Chain A
Amino acid sequence: MHEYLDQIFVLLQHRLMDYLPAAWQPLCGVLLGVVAIVCLFPALFALTTVFERKGLARIQNRIGPNRVGPFGLLQPIADGIKSLTKEDIVPLSADAAVHFLAPVVLVVTVFMGFAVLPMGRNMVLVDMDAGLLFYFAMGASTELAVFMAGWSSRNKYSLMGAMRAVAQMISYEVVLLLSSVTVVMMTGSLSLTKIVEAQNHYSWGLPHWFIFTPWGCAGFVMYAIAATAETNRSPFDLPEGESELVAGYHTEYSGFKFALFFLGEYLAMFSISGLGTTLFLGGWSAPLASLNWIPSWLWFFSKLMMSIFVFIWMRGTLPRLRQDQLMNFAWKFVLPMCLLNLMVAALWRFLGDGWLRWVLCSAILVVAYAGMGLNELRRKQIGPRRYRYAE
């Protein structure tokens, strides 16, 4: 029974394909998968907007939206109608074509990333050998869309927002890649399905997820930091810092184009959480061997939603960084730690089984973290602010 439930979507696709002539089957099979993804994730986005608003409200001891529909669950429909009926303003001096293309390019490239994510056992749209590479290539093109939006608007706030966004995304792209490379070093494959398979075995009922190794844990933390910065989420939401730049690169967008940027941001969040899940949290595999009867896709999506919750939780907690702090953090702290983590991963690989590699790898990472952190703190003057002239 659980085998059947686990494969229910795959079987459904095969059943539907049987009605078509054999020549059409590959094309239509892929199209069906695309339609499923294109319907599912925007629906998830709609739900997430409500949950984010409600979650943030609860973090601030408020109630949150609860007027439209039961518990306010129909709020996204109201928001959708609102953004569809709003006037679509294109500035007179804007480059109309690029201005129109930017949100489309953003959403399309973000959607492309989902193509290689394994969302359950046998549930991957395109099982590419270089899936991870494809994912990062697509992830990098969102920067193009962001810059198109900022540049074509012909507005200094848009342009500044876009510049900040691109600077930030390129800086953290490096961290994102380097923290993922450790996983590739361990599994020896760029294929995301193979990466999940490598984590999908158990000893004493516990899974071999990469997060449960010293290098994987450090890698996951750095991946999470970089993912937050990549998706322009708080505390790294400088590109749209409402208090400094009106709304960043999408200042000049209104109506549904603005909604597309919003959609793009959330879809990027989903896909980067999905990739993080795949790389470090065992993808669709169950957290305990005894829980394997629960369908694999349910595990994938529950892990995804947990990551989204952490995103929202961080947004409700942390204040926005300053631009120089952001850059210093990326280049002076996270990047060296990433490079060190590569060394540690190599050490882990060649020390072989045994307790020694656990102790050694953990010790190196902890000492480096504490050392670099304390060194940073020593240079910083923490305490009440002193004024040179005002006293």
Chain B
Amino acid sequence: MLGEGILKGMAETAKNFFGSYFSAERLTTVEYPEERIASYEAARVFPFLIFDSKNTADPADWEAGMRCVACQICEKECPPKCIYIDKSKDKKPSRFDIDISVCMSCQICVEVCPFEAIKMDTVYELSTDDRFGGLLLDRKQLAKSNEYYHRIHPTEAAEVDDRLSEGRAKTDAKMTAGAIAAAIRGAEVPAAAKATPKPVAEGAVADVVADAAAVTKTAERPTGAGN
């Protein structure tokens, strides 16, 4: 007190002043265009669209592997309404524009997307001399490969891939399980019907299943028509 605090502060700033000339690690800033600080893994700027490299002949074929199915959930959820989507017949967006002059980087589109098709990018040097067209990114500019996503957000991308393969496995399992269940259900009916005239032999199960498959196929038709 009585001014010692001021002297202490002056000493501290003097230490900074002279120290910054002698030890480079004191400097908290870098000379930007030449040097850059690596961005954090969780950094996010504006959204981009992911495509999987499905076309083996041309891995950069973004149109073929686009994950987006133009469900328009992100367009509806976007708070500042900066996403513009047109659907096409093949369940792909024929137009997917993001106006990054409007986008507020809230990441809500990423959170609501059920197809893991839209993610946040880390590119920040986006200045342009065309303030309208230059800031309206179309689907070609937005499309970036899954490998790129792995590069910028490795942990998150690995999680997304796990989730996607898990989901794929689950749907596969569900489909096979559904087929088997349907087969068994179909097999029981004729088995019960045939029970009295002909006792079921142990070795005939395979036959029955094969039969049942044929029966379910015929049985499906009336139920489908009933709906």
- Using a CB–CB cutoff of 8 Å, the interface residues on chain A facing chain B are 55, 58-63, 66, 313-314, 316-318, 369-370, 373-374, 377
Interface residues on B, range: 10 to 19
Identity of the chain A residue whose Cβ is nearest the Cβ of B3 in the assembled complex = A373
A58 proximity list for chain B (CB < 8 A): 16-17, 20-21
Q: Would you give 14 A-B contacts (Cβ < 8 Å), ordered by A? A: A55-B17, A58-B20, A58-B21, A59-B16, A61-B16, A61-B20, A61-B29, A63-B27, A313-B14, A318-B6, A369-B2, A374-B1, A377-B1, A377-B2
| A61→B13 contact, CB < 8 A | no
Tell me the bound Cα distance from A316 to B20 in angstroms. 14
**CB of B223 to closest CB in A, whole Å:** 67
User: Is B210's CB within 8 Å of the partner chain A?
Assistant: no
B7: min CB distance to chain A, Å: 10
B9 touches A61 (CB 8 A): no
Q: A59–B12 Cα gap in the complex (Å)?
A: 9
Distance between B106 CB and nearest chain A CB, rounded to angstroms: 28
CB of A308, distance to nearest CB on chain B (Å): 14
Q: How far is the CA of A318 from the CA of B17 in the complex (A)?
A: 15
List chain A residues, Cβ under 8 A from B16: 58-61
- Is there a chain A Cβ closer than 8 Å to B26's Cβ? yes
Closest Cβ neighbor of B25 among chain A residues = A61
From A63, A314, A369, A373, contact of B31 by CB (8 A)? A63
* Residues on B facing A (Cβ under 8 Å): 1-3, 6, 9-10, 12-14, 16-17, 19-21, 26-29, 31
B2–A313 contact, CB under 8 A?
A: no
Residues of B within 8 A of A373 (CB): 1-3
For residue B9, which residues in chain A have a CB less than 8 angstroms away from its CB?
Answer: 317-318
Complex interface: chain A residues within 8 A of B19 (CB): 61
**Set B1, B2, B28: member contacting A62, Cβ < 8 A:** B28
Q: How far is the CA of A63 from the CA of B16 in the complex (A)?
A: 12
Whether the pair A62, B27 counts as a contact (CB closer than 8 A) is: yes
Q: How far is the CA of A373 from the CA of B6 in the complex (A)?
A: 14
Q: Closest residue to A314 on the B side, CB-wise?
A: B10
List residues of chain A with CB within 8 A of the CB of B31.
Answer: 63, 66
Q: Who on chain A is nearest to B18 by CB?
A: A58
Contacts of A59 in B (CB 8 A): 13, 16-17
Inter-chain contacts of B17 with A (CB < 8 A)? 55, 58-59, 313, 316
A318 to B29, CA, bound (A): 22
> Shortest CB–CB separation between residue B74 and chain A, in angstroms?
39
- Cβ of A372 to closest chain B Cβ, rounded Å: 9
* A313: B residues at CB distance < 8 A: 10, 13-14, 17
For the complex, what is the distance from the CA of A132 to the CA of B112, rounded to whole Å? 75
- Smallest beta-carbon distance A237→chain B, Å: 16
Q: How far is the CA of A377 from the CA of B5 in the complex (A)?
A: 13
20 more CB-based (< 8 A) A-B contacts, given A63-B27, A313-B14, A373-B2? A58-B16, A59-B13, A59-B16, A59-B17, A60-B16, A60-B28, A61-B16, A61-B20, A61-B27, A61-B28, A62-B28, A66-B31, A313-B13, A316-B13, A317-B6, A317-B12, A373-B1, A373-B3, A374-B1, A374-B2
Q: How near does chain A come to B22, taking the closest CB pair, in angstroms?
A: 11
Q: Which residues of A contact B27 (CB under 8 A)?
A: 61-63
Q: Name the residue of chain A whose CB is nearest to the CB of B9.
A: A317
Please name the residue on chain A nearest to B15 by beta carbon: A59
Cα–Cα, bound, A58→B22 (Å): 11
**A104 CA / B13 CA spacing, docked (Å):** 36
Q: How far is the CA of A316 from the CA of B10 in the complex (A)?
A: 9
Once the chains bind, are A62 and B29 in contact (CB under 8 Å)?
yes
A369 to B2, CA, bound (A): 8
Specify the chain A residue showing the minimal Cβ separation from B19: A61
Q: For B3, what are the chain A residues with a Cβ–Cβ distance below 8 Å?
A: 373
In angstroms, Cα B71 to Cα A203, docked, is 92
Residues of chain B within 8 A of A62, CB atoms compared: 20, 27-29
Q: How far is the CA of A55 from the CA of B26 in the complex (A)?
A: 15
**Nearest chain A CB to B6's CB is how many angstroms away?**
7
> Closest CB of chain B to A225's CB: distance in Å?
11
Contact A317 B2 (CB under 8 A): no
The complex places the Cα of A377 from the Cα of B1 at a distance, in Å, of: 8
Please state if B20 and A317 are interface contacts (CB–CB under 8 Å): no
Shortest Cβ distance from A374 into B: residue: B2
8 A-B pairs with least C-beta separation: A373-B2, A317-B13, A59-B13, A58-B17, A317-B9, A58-B20, A62-B29, A61-B26
Are B13 and A63 in touch, CB under 8 angstroms?
Answer: no
Chain B residues with Cβ under 8 A from A369's Cβ?
2
- B10 neighbours in A (Cβ, 8 Å): 313-314, 317
Chain A residues contacting B13 (CB-CB under 8 Å) are: 59, 313, 316-317
Which residues of chain B are near A370, meaning CB under 8 Å?
A: 2
